Amino acid sequence: MLGFCVKCTSPNAMLDFKGVYYDTRCLLQHDDPYRSGEPLRVYQAAGGVLPQYGDGLRQNLTWNVYLPTTLIFIAPFAMLPWGPAHVLWMILTAASLVFAGFLIWNLGANGSPRISGALICFILANSEVLFATGNPAGIAISLCAVAVWCFFRNRFVWAGILCLAASLAIKPHDVGLVWLYFLLTGGICRKRALQSLVLVAVLMVPACLWVSSVAPHWIGELHSNLLAASVPGGVNDPGPANPIYKSCPAMIIDLQSTISSFRDDPRIYNSISYLVCGALLLIWSFRTLRTPFSLRRAWIALAAVVPLTLVVIYHRPYDAKLLLLTVPACCLLWVEGGPIRWVVMAVSTAGIVFTSDIPLIISMVLAKDMRVSTPGLSGQTLTDLLMRPTPLILLAMGIFYLWIYMRRVPEKGLP
């Protein structure tokens, strides 16, 4: 309900869905959706008006950064007028998130149903921004969670394969490392990962043929759009030049946003982020390859890789709904007992709270009037800890669960 109120009152309501909706409308009208500004022209031709404040919608409609497979999934909605299309999208987003949350609770309930339910409800109750902007992450993450349930319960397996393939096709940078886990762990899981990849390829061929018939140079144009959105001052720029860097410091949660405050140079902050996260992911991959599959190990592995997914490359807080997949691991370790249960609870709760909408809104209000002196390295570090703690918390969460994955496996909890 709160998400619906935000959507009705915000001048930038449904801006992410508007972007991909008019990208696809552009394609349906045989115009190049990857040509800079073409979706904006289609939007204005349909009577769309840009909000007086904020440049997010203009940039979303100027640079299409979605793959052709995403446009395939949006096409049924783009065939409808904007009114019913965005209402159906909101309903689908809300229903899929709730369904995904229920399935993950079902998987973790044997460990600690109350804690599992509380964490999942907190995540879902803080999805207002995702609901109000209509970002496809809501659908992609929900489909990924459904696939995980199908695979771990060994029920409706083909539905799980279809869901994982659709999730990869819509937002591969959100769920790609979850798919990688199934590939690396071997056995029947690898088979399902490969089947999902085949389905993605099956989707990719007609999608690319369709787009290429309208926009033969779409690959180069997509690359240019990605670069344009990430230049200093662009909507996806993690550095201080981005207008939201100071006004909404927690709206970009990748590690680059923290490092850029020390050195606003993409060559520096990208290299450090890839080096740190790449080393951790390499360790995780070797462990997964050498460890036989079990449900307990699988949850710990996912709890380690999901936070790393969010910090290694560009992500926003709505992508962090993927933390749903870390809740069963938290419950497993809580049931195991011992002092570590409190550390697990603190780390998991911090990761969830600092990527949730209401706490982020409160932090933005506080940051608006915050004046922090930043002389030297210690002052700059303090500023980052106060204003942009989320990437560091997620990194700590990933390292913590990776340490557990490397050293021990819980003996109680899920069967």
Summarised one tens digit per residue, pLDDT across range 348-406 is 999 999 999 888 877 766 666 555 555 555 556 666 666 678 899 999 999 999 999 99
Most confident option among 5-9, 225-229, 281-285, 404-408: 281-285
Among 286, 284, 285, 275, which Cα is nearest to 311's?
A: 275
The percent of residues above 90 in pLDDT, for the chain, comes to 57
Q: Who contacts 199 (Cβ-Cβ below 8 Å, separation ≥6)? A: 161, 162, 165
Q: Who contacts 347 (Cβ-Cβ below 8 Å, separation ≥6)? A: 396, 397, 400, 401
Most confident option among 191-195, 223-227, 266-270, 296-300: 191-195
Q: Indicate the pLDDT class of residue 4, thresholds 50, 70 and 90.
A: very low
Is the pLDDT at 277 greater than 80? The verdict is yes
Rg (C-alpha) for the chain, rounded Å, is 21
Q: How far is it, in rounded angstroms, from Cα 53 to Cα 51?
A: 5
Q: Indicate the pLDDT class of residue 9, thresholds 50, 70 and 90.
A: very low
Q: What is the pLDDT of residue 411?
A: 46
Lowest average pLDDT, out of 185-189, 198-202, 277-281, 388-392, goes to 388-392
Q: What is the pLDDT of residue 57?
A: 75
**How far apart are the two ends of the chain, measured CA to CA in Å?**
36
Q: Which tokens sit at 293? A: 């599959």
Residue pair 64/23 in contact (Cβ under 8 Å)? The answer is yes
Q: What is the pLDDT of residue 228?
A: 85
Is the pLDDT at 182 greater than 80? The verdict is yes
Q: What is the mean pLDDT of residues 290-294?
A: 88
Q: How far is it, in rounded angstroms, from Cα 127 to Cα 241?
A: 27
Q: Indicate the pLDDT class of residue 183, thresholds 50, 70 and 90.
A: very high
Q: How far is it, in rounded angstroms, from Cα 172 to Cα 150?
A: 19
Q: Which tokens sit at 15? A: 């801006």
Lowest average pLDDT, out of 236-245, 247-256, 323-332, 368-377, goes to 368-377
Q: What is the pLDDT of residue 381?
A: 61
Residue pair 3/133 in contact (Cβ under 8 Å)? The answer is no
Q: Which tokens sit at 4? A: 């619906």
Lowest average pLDDT, out of 10-19, 166-175, 382-391, 394-403, goes to 382-391
Tokens 């801006």 found at: 15
Output the average pLDDT for the chain. Answer: 86
Q: Indicate the pLDDT class of residue 306, thresholds 50, 70 and 90.
A: very high
Q: Which tokens sit at 324? A: 């749903």
Q: What is the pLDDT of residue 384?
A: 64
Q: What is the pLDDT of residue 142?
A: 96
Q: How far is CA 21 from the centre of its chain?
A: 19
Q: Phi and psi for 370 in degrees, rounded to 5?
A: -80, 135
Burial class (CB in 10 A: 0-12, 13-18, 19+), 317: buried
Q: What is the pLDDT of residue 375?
A: 56
pLDDT in tens, 215-233: 999 999 999 988 888 887 7
Q: What is the pLDDT of residue 201?
A: 94
Q: How far is it, in rounded angstroms, from Cα 288 to Cα 209?
A: 36
What are the extents of the domains in the chain?
A: 245-415
Instruction: Give how far Cα 283 sits from Cα of 180, 277, 364, Å.
Output: 14, 10, 35
Neighbours of 81 (CB within 10 A): 8
Is the pLDDT at 118 greater than 80? The verdict is yes
Is the pLDDT at 309 greater than 50? The verdict is yes
Q: What is the DSSP letter of 30?
A: T
Residue pair 217/238 in contact (Cβ under 8 Å)? The answer is no
Q: How far is it, in rounded angstroms, from Cα 393 to Cα 352?
A: 10
Q: What is the pLDDT of residue 340?
A: 87
Q: What is the pLDDT of residue 258?
A: 85
Q: What is the pLDDT of residue 245?
A: 64
pTM of the entire structure?
Answer: 0.91
Lowest average pLDDT, out of 252-256, 338-342, 375-379, 389-393, goes to 375-379
